[in-house]
Structure formats: C-alpha cells, structure tokens
Chain A
Amino acid sequence: MLQIKNYCMEYIEGKRVIDNLNLSVREGDIYAFVGRNGVGKTTTIKSIVGINHITDGDILLDKISILKKPIEYKKNIAYVPDNPILYEYLTGIQYLNFIADIYEMTYKEREEQIKKYANKFELYNELGNLISSYSHGMKQKLVLIAAFMHNPKLYVLDEPFVGLDPKASFTLKELLKEKANEGKIIFFSTHVLDVAERLCNRIAIIKDGKLIADGDMERIIKDKTLEQTFMELVGDE
C-alpha cells in the first residue's frame, strides 16, 4: 500500500505548494491523479519518487518510509517522468542495461524482460541505435520498458500517454491492467480524462495544492462523466 500522510511541500518559506495531502493507494489499484496545470501534480509525484524533499509529513510504501529508508523504498518503485529524460549518448540497450544494473537484475532476468517489453512496444530493433536518434514517442517507449522490466511494486507515471502512438497506448493500458491484476500499485497523472475514466478504479482530484476529491471512480463521478465532474469540482477560474 502507498500511503501519503500529511504531506506538505514548500519551495519558498511560507508558501505551500502542497498542503496537508493525505491519500492511500491499495494493491491492485490503478489510481488517477488529475488536476489543472500548475496545481502540484508533478510536485507530488516527484516527492513520491524521492526527487523533491518533503517539508512535512511522510510517504510510505508497505510501511517503508521514504524519509527513513529511502534506498529500500526506491528499490520497489519505477518512475516515468512527463518528459522522457534519457542519456542521449547511450544506445537503447545500454540504457536498459544501466537500469538493470541499478535494480540489480540478473543477466537472465534482464534478457527475458528486455526482450518481452521491447517486443511489446515494438522497439526491439531500435535498441542498437543511439537515443539521440529516437523520436519523442520512441524515447517514451524506452522509458516505459525500463520501468516495467524490473517489476516493481509501485509504478509512478507522469502523463505516460503523451507521444505514444495508438498501438503503444493500447499496449500500455493492457500492461497497466495486467500489473494491477498482479497486485501492483499504479499511480499516474494524466490530462486525458477519457483514459482515466476507463482505465482507473480510483481517482484523486487536486486543486491549488489541496485534495478536493479522493476515492473510487464510480463514487466520485456517479452518473456523470469524469470530465463533467472535474469541471464542476475545479470550476471556472
């Protein structure tokens, strides 16, 4: 279970970007984290994966605290950033091997997983090329392969569908459902409310650094669409 307890985040003293955020994500949940631009989605995600410091509160994964045991915590997560950040002067396979080394995968495991996910995302034949020659979509696929291959407990994805072609988007959705059925935790932010509505079983809506809705998708949207619910809750600003 992922637990975010009384999480607060300040970039400048006195100015809270995120104020007292509390939420829990269970095993098997596909959890959508939505909100307008600049409300703190990426900030929250970066704190969950250990990039940003936490001003107050704590974040726990299966009771392992990110503040007290950061290395052990991070062994069980995979992070897909909103912009595929990669080493331009590595080839695809060199990058994947690097990730495999960091997550201490055996050579047999890495071979199986790389082949499996690279074929799923149809990137296998491009793995020998430099990342600098990849298009945006190919880079996004590579980051996704790197995230899936070490099979973590928690997947944190920041707008993962941006740049993916329709087939890759479909593949990603299927993989996320598969992982959720295996008991993994999927936590992702997206602007595509349609996808969130169909894919996710739980949702959180954030506004101005505060959680304004959190819970099961059916309970939150009732008999409306997610888009309608979102517009009602977030309002005209």
Chain B
Amino acid sequence: MNKLIKLIYINLLGLFDINKIIVARSEGVKSNLEKKMVITVLIGLFYGYVIYSLFSYIKINNSYIIFNIGFFISSLICMISNIINIEPILFKNNDNDVLFSMPVTRYQILLSKLFVIYIRNLFYVIVIMGAILLSYLSYGINVSELFVLMYICSLLIIPFIPIVISTIIAYLNDLFKLKTNDSLLFKIIKIMIVGVVLGGIFLLFKDIFKYGGNLNKLLDIFNNKIKLLYPLIMIFDIALNRGSLFSFIILISLPIIVIYIYSLFITNNYLRMCSLLKGIKKASSFVYKKKFKLGQILGIVRKELCCIINNKVYFRSSVVTLFIFSIVLFILLNVIDLDRFKKINNFMLYFNTYLPMILAMFVTLNNSAISSFSLEKDNIQVLCSMPLNMMEIILGKWIPSILIGSIFVIINGSLVWFYLEIPKWTIIYSYVIPFIALLFVSLTSIVLDYRFIEKNETDDNVIIKGRIISFIPTFLAIIIGIGPFFLPLYGEYELLLGGYALGMLFLLIFLLLYLIVRHKKLKMNLIN
C-alpha cells in the first residue's frame, strides 16, 4: 500500500508542474505555488462561467435536459483528452522501463497512472457539471440533500468510462498498425472508421437543419439521441431526474464493474502491451524521393510544417481545433435564419460590423504560435550555430501559422459568402480582418515566446510567466472578437472596420519594429 501511495504521489507531482514548483521552493526561490493554483482555478472558473451563462441564457422548457447535456459534454471532453493522453502516459512513458525493473507490481504502476488520469478528468467534470448545477438552480428550483449527494456521486463516475474506451481505442489502433505494418489497408480502415464517426456526428446534429429555429424541440431530440448513444446518460437521467434510487445504484456500480474488469485485463497484459507498443515502427525500407532545394526561410517553414503534421497531438490541438470552429460556423449558418432577425432595429448594421470580428476570433483563438520557440527546446542552440539570423528563424516560424490559419480564413469567409446575403464590404472584411488578426496574434505569440523563453525551468516565476504568456494570444483573440461590441456603432460600418484593420496593422508594424530593434539583445537572452 505504501508503494502504491508513493507511486501515486510521484505521478501527481507531474500534474500541473507541481514538482517544478517544489524543486524551486527547495532552492530557496520564493514560491508562487498559490498564484499558480489560483491562475489554474481562475481559468477553470472562467470556462465554467461561460457554460453557466450559456445555459442560463437559453431558457429551455425541460430544465432536466441540461444535466444530460452536461454529462455528455463532460464525458466527450474526457474522451477527447484521454484518446490523446492514454497512450503516452500508460504505454509509452519513458518511466515504464525503470518502473518495470523495480520491486513494484504492475497493478500498482497501472493504478498510479490511471489515478492521475482520473484526477485530470475529474477536474474537467467538476468545472462543467458544477456550472450545469448552478445553471439549473438559476431556474429557481430547490434541490434536496439527497439530490446533491446523488449528483456528487454521479460526478465521480463520469471520468471512468472514457478512460476505458480510450485505452481500448489506443491499444487496438497500435495493434492493427503493428499487424498490418501500417499498410495502405490499415490507413483505409482508419479512414472508414473516421467516416463512420463523422457520419454519426452528422446523424446527431442533422436535425439542426430541420428544427434550427425551435431550440426546445432540438434539445429534446438531441437529448434522446445522446441517451441512445451513451446509455449511461439514460441511467443518469432516470436516477437523478426521476429520483430512482435503484437506477442510481446501477449508475454507480456499472462503471465500477467495468473498471474492475478493465483493470484485471490491463494488469495481466500491461507488460506485454507496453513492449508491443514500444516495438511498433515502420518496416525498415526507405526510398529516397527527390526534394527540391528551398531557400533557408522556406526550409525552416518546411521543417515546421513537417513537425506539426508528424506530431499528432499538436496537429489535433491546433489544426483540428480550427477545423472544428469551421464546422461550428457551418452548422450555425444553416441553423440561423437571418430574415427573422432583420426586423430588429439596426440588426444588419450590427451584423455587418461584428461578423468579421467574430470570424477573426474563430481563426485566432487557438493560434498561439503553431510553431513556437518553446517547442525548439535545446534545438535553439543548434539553430544558432547555423548560418541563419534570428529574423529568418522568426519568419520561418511565423509563416506556417499564417499558412495554416489562412486556409481557415478562406474557408470561413467563403462559407459566409455562400450562405449569407450580405453587402460586398462585409464579405471583403470577412477575409481581410481575420487575416490581419491572424498575422497580429500569431506574431504576438511568437514574440512573447521569444522574449520570455527561459532555459532554466526550475524557476517557478518562469512557470507562472509561461502559463500566463500562453494565454495572452487567446485573450487577444477574444478581445479582437468581442471587444468591439463595447464600442459605439456608426452607420458607416465600412469605415469603422477599415479603421479596425488599420489599427491592427499598426500594432503589427510596431511588433516588427520591436523585433528588428531588439533582436540582438533577444538573441542573447535566448541562448544564455
């Protein structure tokens, strides 16, 4: 038991950089642990507030539905996170080699890692379901202590099943990759599975096009579908919403049984699975393909794009996120019937003014330097030994962000142009403003990264700085998108938007000048 607790403790230290803070504190650096925790909590509260506001704003007839939707969303987020994290944490972590050689059981190793994954999932669940409960209470409904108790116990259950499903997916994916030698057949099968998933998502949301205007009807249909898709939600619905104690017992015991069987299977096969998955690599045959000579800057661009594409985690979190935003836009454009709103006084003026800014926010919200200096780590030293100046390196990192973001600027602008009957200036600004915002936010992100990157990561001030800095581009994107809502509107919205674009361009030029003027000193900070 002692060893298990120690293993859990070690794994928890890796969560939220806690260990780095402790090391810094032991070296006598003034601890900012409280600040770090507060920042993390504030960010969580912010997201929770957004969810609470959303559901409080949408007054739905059957308020119970929001619990089911919250259950679904939190499970989905846990699933997405786990699909990305399960394989590297459980099966491909570098500490596995050392742990397997120690006098600890595989069960203890597995449980300690699963516990940390569970804690991370629980954090997401608490944020979302906490907000959902508050939103429910905003309907003016009183709840009993039994309801609260059942609710809390249900929250503890939600994180389990995504862990199980993600492990199965990760294991099957890698097993098939190994068996088929990552052949074309395997890739075709993967594409078909992705197609089935997308088809399922389409079926889930297809009624949006039919019932777009009737939110309550839409939520009812959605509620019924998610209960079929994920039967645990049905049990949750019966247990909490209808107060069935029997259903509650099943709700609690079913995941426990599943996780028990899962842990038995995984423990017995853990060593074999880790060895199996570590051994996966392409067959060693290589055929040289001619590559054209690119200049130095384009060479860096090619390198950055290859890194992004090959790093699946990073690719999903950057490019796929942008893709999801475009899908959301596509759905909204099909759901929203603009003609109904045109009766509102000055609606078209508001719409034509704010649409380009919202599109700008879509494209920049997750664009915090697709290629950042932090990712270089020690490679920055090797780059410094090459015949490159820092401006070339920065440009080489900036261009991939622009290229990838521009694709989505074009997609989003074209969607708006195709679906909406809007004036030509709105269409033009729907391309121009997001593009300029993309240039500005991505360069800001690179400059901040470049300016504040530190080699010595044990300094907890650096860790705090790092976390704040990584959110600045996101906050900038939100300000660009929503900030203008607080400005007075003018009839000549074309001039306002033109001025907005020029303003961002000036800031961009200012940033470039800063880089040109300070690049020598920045370089010294970077490598020393």
Question: Which A residues form the contact surface with B (CB < 8 A)?
Answer: 11, 46, 49-53, 70-75, 77, 79, 81, 83, 85-87, 89-91, 93-95, 97-98, 100-107, 110-111, 114-115, 124-130, 133
- Whole-angstrom distance between the alpha carbons of A90 and B302 in the complex? 11
Sort A-B residue pairs by CB-CB distance and give the 10 closest, nearest first: A101-B299, A49-B385, A74-B387, A125-B284, A89-B311, A128-B286, A98-B303, A89-B310, A79-B385, A75-B387
Please indicate the chain B residues that have their CB under 8 angstroms from the CB of A91 in the complex.
Answer: 306, 310
> How far in angstroms is the closest Cβ of chain A from B303?
4
Please indicate the chain B residues that have their CB under 8 angstroms from the CB of A93 in the complex.
Answer: 286, 288
Q: List 9 A-B contacts (CB under 8 A).
A: A52-B527, A53-B528, A85-B381, A87-B303, A97-B299, A102-B299, A102-B300, A115-B288, A126-B286
Known pairs A87-B379, A101-B293 / 4 extra A-B pairs, C-beta < 8 Å: A49-B385, A85-B378, A89-B306, A102-B388
* CB pair B379 A86 closer than 8 Å: yes
Q: Which of A85, A103, A130 contacts B379 (CB 8 A)?
A: A85
* Residue in chain B with minimal CB distance to A90: B306
Please indicate the chain A residues that have their CB under 8 angstroms from the CB of B385 in the complex.
Answer: 49-51, 74, 77, 79
* CB pair A79 B306 closer than 8 Å: no
> How far in angstroms is the closest Cβ of chain A from B210?
43
Please indicate the chain A residues that have their CB under 8 angstroms from the CB of B143 in the complex.
Answer: none
- The answer to the question of B242 belonging to the interface, with a C-beta cut-off of 8 Å to chain A, is no
Please indicate the chain A residues that have their CB under 8 angstroms from the CB of B388 in the complex.
Answer: 71, 74, 102
> How far in angstroms is the closest Cβ of chain A from B305?
10
Q: Which of A79, A81, A89, A133 contacts B307 (CB 8 A)?
A: A89
Interface residues of B in 271-325 (CB under 8 A from A): 281-282, 284-288, 290-296, 298-300, 302-303, 306-307, 310-311, 314
Q: Which of B291, B382, B386, B389 contacts A97 (CB 8 A)?
A: B291
- The answer to the question of B149 belonging to the interface, with a C-beta cut-off of 8 Å to chain A, is no
Please indicate the chain A residues that have their CB under 8 angstroms from the CB of B293 in the complex.
Answer: 100-101, 104-107, 110
- The answer to the question of B524 belonging to the interface, with a C-beta cut-off of 8 Å to chain A, is yes
Please indicate the chain A residues that have their CB under 8 angstroms from the CB of B299 in the complex.
Answer: 97-98, 100-102
- The answer to the question of B384 belonging to the interface, with a C-beta cut-off of 8 Å to chain A, is yes
Give the size range of B's interface with the partner.
Answer: 35 or more
Please indicate the chain A residues that have their CB under 8 angstroms from the CB of B296 in the complex.
Answer: 101-102, 104
Please indicate the chain A residues that have their CB under 8 angstroms from the CB of B378 in the complex.
Answer: 83, 85
* CB pair A125 B303 closer than 8 Å: no
Please indicate the chain A residues that have their CB under 8 angstroms from the CB of B306 in the complex.
Answer: 89-91, 94
* CB pair A98 B387 closer than 8 Å: no
> How far in angstroms is the closest Cβ of chain B from A115?
6
Quick one: CB contact mask for B382-397 with A, threshold 8 Å, 1 for yes?
1011111100000000
Interface SS of chain B: loop
Please indicate the chain A residues that have their CB under 8 angstroms from the CB of B311 in the complex.
Answer: 89
- Whole-angstrom distance between the alpha carbons of A73 and B389 in the complex? 12
Given known A-B contacts A72-B387, A94-B303, A133-B281, A114 and B288 have beta carbons under 8 A apart: yes
- Whole-angstrom distance between the alpha carbons of A81 and B378 in the complex? 11
- Whole-angstrom distance between the alpha carbons of A101 and B281 in the complex? 27
- Whole-angstrom distance between the alpha carbons of A98 and B291 in the complex? 10
* CB pair B310 A81 closer than 8 Å: no
> How far in angstroms is the closest Cβ of chain B from A5?
20
* Residue in chain B with minimal CB distance to A95: B303
- Whole-angstrom distance between the alpha carbons of A127 and B307 in the complex? 15
- Whole-angstrom distance between the alpha carbons of A70 and B314 in the complex? 34
Q: Which of A83, A85, A111 contacts B288 (CB 8 A)?
A: A111
- Whole-angstrom distance between the alpha carbons of A129 and B286 in the complex? 9
> How far in angstroms is the closest Cβ of chain B from A28?
23
* CB pair A110 B291 closer than 8 Å: yes
| Most chain A beta-carbon neighbours within 10 Å: one of B310, B311, B527 | B310
Please indicate the chain B residues that have their CB under 8 angstroms from the CB of A77 in the complex.
Answer: 385
> How far in angstroms is the closest Cβ of chain B from A129?
6
- Whole-angstrom distance between the alpha carbons of A216 and B26 in the complex? 49
> How far in angstroms is the closest Cβ of chain B from A16?
15
* CB pair B292 A107 closer than 8 Å: yes
* CB pair A111 B290 closer than 8 Å: yes
- Whole-angstrom distance between the alpha carbons of A95 and B303 in the complex? 7
* CB pair B290 A125 closer than 8 Å: no
| Most chain B beta-carbon neighbours within 10 Å: one of A75, A81, A91, A97 | A97
* CB pair B285 A53 closer than 8 Å: no
- Whole-angstrom distance between the alpha carbons of A85 and B291 in the complex? 23
- Whole-angstrom distance between the alpha carbons of A77 and B389 in the complex? 15
> How far in angstroms is the closest Cβ of chain B from A81?
7
Quick one: CB contact mask for B30-74 with A, threshold 8 Å, 1 for yes?
000000000000000000000000000000000000000000000
- Whole-angstrom distance between the alpha carbons of A94 and B304 in the complex? 10
Please indicate the chain B residues that have their CB under 8 angstroms from the CB of A86 in the complex.
Answer: 379
* Residue in chain B with minimal CB distance to A92: B286
> How far in angstroms is the closest Cβ of chain A from B274?
15
Please indicate the chain B residues that have their CB under 8 angstroms from the CB of A124 in the complex.
Answer: 286
- Whole-angstrom distance between the alpha carbons of A103 and B288 in the complex? 19
Q: Which of B281, B303, B314, B384 contacts A51 (CB 8 A)?
A: B384
* CB pair A97 B302 closer than 8 Å: yes
Given known A-B contacts A98-B302, A101-B296, A50 and B384 have beta carbons under 8 A apart: yes
> How far in angstroms is the closest Cβ of chain B from A85?
5
* CB pair A71 B288 closer than 8 Å: no
> How far in angstroms is the closest Cβ of chain A from B283?
9
| Most chain A beta-carbon neighbours within 10 Å: one of B292, B387, B524 | B387
* CB pair B288 A101 closer than 8 Å: no
- Whole-angstrom distance between the alpha carbons of A23 and B386 in the complex? 23
* Residue in chain A with minimal CB distance to B523: A53
- Whole-angstrom distance between the alpha carbons of A89 and B370 in the complex? 14
Please indicate the chain A residues that have their CB under 8 angstroms from the CB of B288 in the complex.
Answer: 93, 111, 114-115, 127
* CB pair B528 A52 closer than 8 Å: yes
* CB pair B286 A107 closer than 8 Å: no
- Whole-angstrom distance between the alpha carbons of A157 and B524 in the complex? 23
| Most chain A beta-carbon neighbours within 10 Å: one of B285, B287, B382, B389 | B382
- Whole-angstrom distance between the alpha carbons of A85 and B299 in the complex? 18
Please indicate the chain B residues that have their CB under 8 angstroms from the CB of A79 in the complex.
Answer: 382, 385
* CB pair A128 B379 closer than 8 Å: no
* Residue in chain A with minimal CB distance to B285: A125
* Residue in chain B with minimal CB distance to A75: B387
* Residue in chain B with minimal CB distance to A128: B286
Please indicate the chain B residues that have their CB under 8 angstroms from the CB of A81 in the complex.
Answer: 381-382
- Whole-angstrom distance between the alpha carbons of A94 and B310 in the complex? 11
